[in-house]
Amino acid sequence: MTFDGGPLKGEYQLCNGHGPQKAKQVLTEHRNSYITREDFRYLSKHGINTVRIPVGWWITKDPHPPAPYVGGGLAALDNAFRWAQWVTVS
């Protein structure tokens, strides 16, 4: 694979292009900011009660998915379920 500095598209390409340490950092920052608890509050406030959260098959192997993937996706998905439950009871 040749990485020319262009945009990486997809988790597989990101992990291959950056390597495991940098990819874990980049994906952690992304997962912590891409969707938040406040987003669920906003959606609920506007009558939206369904979201689609795409996950890859490798999430079933979290926290130690096969290379080149890095762990953390399952924890992010768990957060989304907690936040969804939180807005339904608040």
The predicted model scores a pTM of 0.75
| Nearest alpha-carbon partner for 59 in 46, 44, 69, 50 | 69
* pLDDT top residue among 9 and 24: 24
Q: Is the pLDDT of residue 69 over 50?
A: yes
| Nearest alpha-carbon partner for 87 in 37, 21, 18, 29 | 37
Do 14 and 23 form a contact (C-beta atoms < 8 A)?
Answer: yes
Q: Is the pLDDT of residue 2 over 60?
A: no
Place of tokens 């807005």: 87
Q: Rounded CA gap, 3 and 24, in Å? A: 18
Using CA atoms of 18, 52, 65, 37 in order, give the dihedral in degrees to the nearest 10: 80
- E runs forming strands in the chain: none
